[in-house]
Amino acid sequence: MARLLVLGAGISGHTAALVARRRLPAAHRVAVVSPLETYNWIPSNIWVGVGVMAPSEVLVPLRPVYEKTGVDFVQGRAVELRPDGSAEDPAPHVVVETPDGGRRREPYDYLINATGPKLNFAATPGLGPSGFSHSVCTSGHAADAARGFLECVERLKRGERQTLVVGMGHGTCTCEGAAFEYVFNVEFELRRHGVRDKARLVFLTNEAELGDFGVDGLRFRQGGYVVHSRFFAESLFAERGVERIVGAHVREVQKGRLRYSTLDGGEGELAFDFAMLLPPFTGVGLKAAARDGRDLTAELFAPSGFMKVDADYAPKDWADWRAGDWPRTYASPSRPNLFAVGIAFAPPHAISRPRRAPDGTPISPAPPRTGMPSAIIGRAAALNAADLMLGRADRPRRTASMAELGAACVASAGAGWWSGTAASMTMYPIVPDYERYPEFGRDLDRTFGEIGSAGHWIKQILHRMFLYKARAKPGWWLIPE
pLDDT tens readout for residues 386-415: 999 999 999 999 999 999 999 888 777 766
pLDDT bin (cut points 50, 70, 90) of residue 417 is low
Domain extent for 59? 3-119+281-389
Is 202 part of a structural domain of the chain? no
CATH (domain of 110): 3.50.50.100
Is a pLDDT exceeding 70 seen at residue 420? no
Position 448 scores a pLDDT of 83
Is 29 part of a structural domain of the chain? yes
Is 365 part of a structural domain of the chain? yes
Residue range 293-320: mean pLDDT, rounded:
96
Position 62 scores a pLDDT of 98
Residue range 135-146: mean pLDDT, rounded:
98
Is 332 part of a structural domain of the chain? yes
pLDDT bin (cut points 50, 70, 90) of residue 353 is very high
pLDDT tens readout for residues 235-248: 889 999 999 999 99
Is a pLDDT exceeding 70 seen at residue 364? yes
Is 468 part of a structural domain of the chain? no
Is 394 part of a structural domain of the chain? no
- Number of domain units in the chain: 1
% of the chain surpassing 70 pLDDT: 98
Alpha carbon distance 406, 371 (integer Å)? 12
Is a pLDDT exceeding 70 seen at residue 165? yes
Residue range 245-272: mean pLDDT, rounded:
98
Position 416 scores a pLDDT of 62
Average pLDDT, the chain: 95
Is 112 part of a structural domain of the chain? yes
Position 415 scores a pLDDT of 61
Is a pLDDT exceeding 70 seen at residue 418? no
